[in-house]
Amino acid sequence: MKALVTGGAGFIGSHVTDALIDRGDEVICVDDCSAPQNHGFFWNDRAVNVRADIRDTGLRDQYEGVDVVFHLAARSRIQPTVGNPSECFSVNVMGTQEVLEASRLAGVTRVVYSSSSSYYGNRNTPPFREDMPPGCATPYSLSKWQGEQICDLYTRLYELSTVSLRYFNVYGPREPLHGGYAPVMGLFRRQVNEGEPMTVVGSGEQRRDFTYISDVVRANLLAAQRTEATGIFNIGTGTNYSILELTGLIGGPNAIVEHIDERVGETRETLADNTRARTELGWTHEVPLLDVINSYWQASVDAG
């Protein structure tokens, strides 16, 4: 199979790229290396690596002969998009439309779109099901939902096979570490390693469904293979932890914690109902947080 991975040198995308290459696929990796929170970019030298913006129509030649597109490129942090909504909508909405248009014109068989559990917001009661109404409270969550809608339009209007995966709080090696808005796992790891207190937003009672990177990669590969499965799928474990519980797991009983002000658009709880992913994609999570957290820190250091 020949695949094109947008955002293929970033956190999730680089793992998808590696998995595809390791199983023998031909991969084109597209990334513009613009994510400021990343502590590095992870190009696989066995891929065809293209440093470019997904909005650039000059990239369309790269889609020729591609079977499956994994679309992971995005402005992917919630709080920075509040301060810069224009760039968020340009990349996440118009960029997604260009990826789908280039795929359509090139005759791509399947597009796997990376979406977000932030869609559910605080409007819905966990566990979250895919048929719940949108609760988008930030430019990021709204832009990812609009990306889902564009995928649906291209499927209905142009018969381009698409599938959208709503990720729940992905963590693992290569995750973003920089800045105060880095995902909480990477942020806490950096703070502990540097001898700083772990900064907890608000009370810390918010709960998150943490999903390990290898489980997310498997979901992408299954979504590409199960072409009869279309629409939206939650990719989460169905178990969640409070942020304060997480500080204890990482820092132990004497963890040093500093509480900071609550943020606009902060979701109280994420928790996936993954029934549809289990029954239609054949996906189940394999890596519980409690089993991996200690070895994960060392793996993250080695990968970084």
The yes-or-no answer on residue 154 being catalytic is no
Instruction: Give the dihedral sign, CA 75/81/83/86.
Output: positive
Q: What is d(CA 209, CA 128) in angstroms, rounded to the nearest whole number? A: 11
Which one is catalytic: 140, 154, 167, 212? 140
Q: pLDDT tens across 230-246, in order?
A: 999 999 999 999 999 99
Cis peptide before 197 (omega within 30 of 0): no
% the chain with pLDDT above 90: 78
- Residue 179 binned pLDDT confidence (cut-offs 50, 70, 90): low
Residues 6 or more apart in contact with residue 178 via CB below 8 angstroms: 36, 37, 38, 39
Token pair, residue 78, equals 């919630």
Q: What are phi and psi of 72, to 5 degrees?
A: -115, -10
| The pLDDT value given to residue 194 | 86
> Domain 2-170+211-236+272-288: which topology?
Rossmann fold (3.40.50)
| The pLDDT value given to residue 300 | 46
Q: Which residue has the higher pLDDT, 22 or 175?
A: 22
Q: What are the sequence ranges of the domains in the chain?
A: 2-170+211-236+272-288
- Residue 192 binned pLDDT confidence (cut-offs 50, 70, 90): confident
Q: Which residue has the higher pLDDT, 299 or 167?
A: 167
Q: Which residue has the higher pLDDT, 291 or 230?
A: 230
| The pLDDT value given to residue 184 | 86
| The pLDDT value given to residue 294 | 67
| The pLDDT value given to residue 113 | 98
Q: Which run of H or E residues covers position 184? A: helix 184-193
Q: pLDDT tens across 197-215, in order?
A: 999 999 999 999 999 999 9
User: Which of 58-72, 146-160, 236-250, 256-270 is the least confident region?
Assistant: 256-270
Task: Tell me the average pLDDT of the chain.
Answer: 92
% the chain with pLDDT above 70: 93
Q: pLDDT tens across 16-57, in order?
A: 999 999 999 999 999 999 876 667 899 999 999 999 999 999
Mean pLDDT to the nearest integer, 74-86: 84
Q: What are phi and psi of 231, to 5 degrees?
A: 95, -140
